[in-house]
Structure 1
């Protein structure tokens, strides 16, 4: 099958959406499919991989990391894309990519599929708190319903996200297909070298967070947690791997609270090298977000054999439900720190959770999830009869 994916964001802009796209492209390609990807041009110096098409784009004033594909640039690509004779278009984001993807699918007379990655209703509350909540909810639900009804099928990464779209009134065929992971590379990594490079002694008890440093990630909770833990474990250390709009404010807050000796902001780490080392250098992966529709870094940590403490909200709940390799915490500093402390004090428990984590990550393999995705594609293109499509509906 020949597929065109379209996204408003991709690497070098680090995000869960970018990681999901890359994982599925790799998995689908290994299954013998051709997968092109249309993204904004991020500027000179970014050599695209084979099969990646870059549309002319401009910067977004309030979000300097982002790029917005220009309508004229996309129109100039239309003939070239038409000559590729795609079987299906997979829209990954709801902005320019959605409008152009549905336009192109209509013009080429092929199905379009939408991945609904982000819980926008929660995100808007963090970024635009001045916007009245009832109007915010109404607007997001109306736009989401319209966009989902404009495509032939919708993919969500978790059951919780499916329930949300059903509550919006979405009745387009919908499948829960989490992003899979190639677990093997995360089993490697040099934790000792990572600690040595940062001057972290072997006596330090390291907690690791990896992801965007943004308001919706709930990182202030981790500052509360580490402040509690330091009183009973003075050797505890929190590493925050990632960057984003909240970093400066969090660094200032950490300094005001006198946490500079127990909290380190590392910035973005390379997923192919230093991030894997960081997973091996830590004893617990901590994740306080309540807005993740899946949480790819949770899977990466589990694949690295790193026990997870996280809040079982939205997509994270699917991974935490079995308690394999993880422990759930309530979104308050007392319970979250207690869960961490139990693991830090119990070496045998950490070892057992590490074994369970690796096993759970193998079950969420890139190949298995890509096979589910191509099956969904095939029902929409007519390569499989519609009777093969198990459209998920809300439970009674």
Structure 2
């Protein structure tokens, strides 16, 4: 097959966002070697065109954002203009609109479309918005996915899609060894529990409050340990207040959002354990990143990235999401520096042998 023109459509794109945007970037990079790849997305910042590793990225400022869904008539017009002469469209979807527009126009123009599905449902416990999400999934989303090649980013997402009558294939995220990971050799880690994730009201499912409560119960027993939180969102002040009310004070450090890869690498390299206690997580890229930096992990049983974890070797998969269970597993790791060191080595050595896509 000759060199193809591929248009990648995504609600947002790296360096904005989180796991989806990183996955989209890695996929675009993998395709760009033998194909001409361009990206079209929306942005919370200023619109325009930039270049990431030779990939041209077109960013459109949305006219409206509902929940976490950007909406833009200009984006529709931009998709319509950019698909001229395209051989394949790849649309990433955790939320409505962007993939819907791409799918409709692809079908109209007779262009093959591949849809990468990143979630296990749009309902987030938000009442009226959940009702709209259910209506969308039963109507417009079915048209969007009809006739498309569907890729699930994890077995968890695959199971969700199969349960709804679709026939996807699985392509797990692949993270190459981070640029700064080699710096970990010879470094001593600090007594730090690390959480990395968005802190918005539509991301309560990441359960940072559960981790803060568990850390509070262990704080007197392990006074040298700290909790570091990387991420931003409209619940940041609520979590800060929660930490203060539990008497944790400076024991919990909120870094906010970090876009600089070198700064984020420095945090991973200092951390002792990463915890991802989400109620659901289509994958959980932070788990793969942590392991690449030699950070043992404690992972929710509902995270797709649990496939990367061998309990007792490079981390633990929680039995369930409760404060007592999380306390027991975190205590085990805090109280066993030798185990932590061994897990750190195994995490790093086992990273390259993780499941292929």
Structure 2 length-normalised TM: 0.86
Moved more, 226-235 or 43-52: 43-52
1:222 matches 2:211: yes
Deviation at 1:310, TM superposition (A): 1.6
1:207 matches 2:203: no
| Contact kept? 1:207, 1:237, Cα under 8 Å | yes
1:226-241 counterparts in 2 under 5 A? Answer: 226-241=215-230
From 18, 27, 31, give the equivalent of 1:28. Answer: 31
- Distance, in Å, in 1 between the alignment partners of 2:210 and 2:259 is 25
Structure 2 residue aligned with 1:340: 330
| Contact kept? 2:64, 2:72, Cα under 8 Å | no
1:139-150 counterparts in 2 under 5 A? Answer: 139=135, 141-143=137-139, 146-147=142-143, 149-150=145-146
- Distance, in Å, in 2 between the alignment partners of 1:308 and 1:51 is 35
Can you give the 5+ residue segments of structure 1 that lack an aligned partner in the other structure?
194-201, 370-396
Q: Secondary structure of 1:57's partner?
A: coil
Q: C-alpha root-mean-square deviation of aligned residues, in Å?
A: 2.9
| Contact kept? 1:307, 1:357, Cα under 8 Å | yes
| Contact kept? 2:189, 2:271, Cα under 8 Å | no
Deviation digits for residues 320-368 of structure 1, max 9, x if unmatched?
3565411122311222122122222223322221222123321348xx5
| Contact kept? 1:203, 1:235, Cα under 8 Å | no
From 169, 172, 178, give the equivalent of 1:175. Answer: 169
Structure 2 residue aligned with 1:393: none
Deviation at 1:45, TM superposition (A): 8.1
| Contact kept? 1:221, 1:332, Cα under 8 Å | yes
Alignment coverage as a number of residue pairs: 346
Structure 2 residue aligned with 1:58: 63
- Distance, in Å, in 1 between the alignment partners of 2:220 and 2:24 is 42
Structure 2 residue aligned with 1:185: 179
Higher relative contact order (CA 8 A, sep 6+): 1
| Contact kept? 1:308, 1:325, Cα under 8 Å | yes
Structure 2 residue aligned with 1:113: 114
- Distance, in Å, in 2 between the alignment partners of 1:253 and 1:191 is 36
Deviation digits for residues 102-126 of structure 1, max 9, x if unmatched?
12212332211111102234x422x
Deviation digits for residues 251-302 of structure 1, max 9, x if unmatched?
1111122111311111012351111100111111111112110000100000
Structure 1 residue aligned with 2:281: 292
Deviation at 1:80, TM superposition (A): 4.2
After the TM superposition, which parts of structure 1 deviate over 3 Å for at least 4 consecutive aligned residues? 41-47, 130-133, 135-141, 188-193, 321-324
**Residues 77/324 of structure 1: CA separation in 2 closer, same or farther (3 Å cut):** same
| Contact kept? 1:212, 1:242, Cα under 8 Å | yes
1:361 matches 2:351: yes
Structure 1 length-normalised TM: 0.78
Structure 2 residue aligned with 1:351: 341
When you count helix as a share of all residues, which structure comes out higher? 1
**Residues 12/317 of structure 1: CA separation in 2 closer, same or farther (3 Å cut):** closer
- Distance, in Å, in 1 between the alignment partners of 2:23 and 2:171 is 11
Deviation at 1:33, TM superposition (A): 2.5
